[in-house]
Amino acid sequence: MSDLNPAANGRARIAAAFAQAQQTQSAALMPYFTLGYPDRQTSLDVVAAIAPDSDLLELGVPFSDPLADGPTIQHSTQVALENGTTVRGCLEMLAELRQRGVETPIMLMGYYNPILAYGVKNYVRDAAAAGADGFIVPDLPPEEAGELEEAAARTGTALIHFLAPTSSPARIANVAERAQGFIYLVSLTGVTGARTAVQSDLAAFVARVRQQASVPLAVGFGISTPQQAAQIGGMADGVIVGSALINAVDQAAGDKPGAAAAFVQTLREGVSG
């Protein structure tokens, strides 16, 4: 979907992606996929295949203890680690995707321990140079995010903060005040993974956050079908789908990038409908 200027800074590119989707009266679609899964080349081919129907992309940097992730993404990250995928290797894959012509805004999703080991400033600098537009760090609370926020600000990239249905009014106000790019709304209390239904109180949660937030709101966790994507897209500015995409790739006997592209096309039809 994206024809954004790759030379623009990450925050501007993220904002433009949401604005572009809004102009077409659609929620922005943001698929998640784990870098290095099921192997390096296939992951690159999958991301390149789904990019044309994606407004943004969330690419996972594998970590041994992914606390926020359910069995599907845990398995994908473990396989990627067993394949020898490293943080530096993920940045090299990101640069290769940009060289292949993928212009869609890319968010790197990873946990804080590998970022600390790499060096916060070095990680943000190298990721931005490779083509990252922003960072999603599930285990980094906003109260402890100052160093990464400052590093992101220096490179024009965005650090994305989370809110959950259990977030207090004070936490919502804090995140709304410091939000960059968009706010990631967790649709349920629990880990990632495909679910059969959307939480009944999700609309009220989105409305609570929208009262205070000036940036787009994207909902993730548990979204698995075009129908659910359409339902979420009717209340939020962005729809994030991860485990269901990995399942679609796993179930493909032959052309895994083609299967991924076909699945994302159904999600695109859902959010556009």
Tell me if residue 192 falls in helix, strand or coil: coil
pTM of the model: 0.93
Active site (catalytic) residues: 58, 69
Separation between Cα atoms, residue 56 and residue 36, nearest integer Å: 19
Whole-angstrom distance, CA of residue 79 vs CA of residue 107: 21
Q: What local confidence, expressed as pLDDT, does residue 12 receive?
A: 96
Digit-by-digit pLDDT tens for the chain (273 residues) are 544 544 469 999 999 999 999 999 999 999 999 999 999 999 999 999 999 999 999 999 999 887 767 789 999 999 999 999 999 999 999 999 999 999 999 999 999 999 999 999 999 999 999 999 999 999 999 999 999 999 999 999 999 999 998 899 999 999 999 999 999 999 765 444 444 445 558 899 999 999 999 999 999 987 889 999 999 999 999 999 989 999 999 999 899 999 999 999 999 999 987
pLDDT of residue 191: 44
- What integer pLDDT is reported at residue 65 of this predicted model? 83
Kindly list the structural domains of the chain, giving each domain's residue range(s) and its CATH number in brackets, ordered by start. 10-159+228-272 (3.20.20.70)
Q: Which amino acid is at 146?
A: G
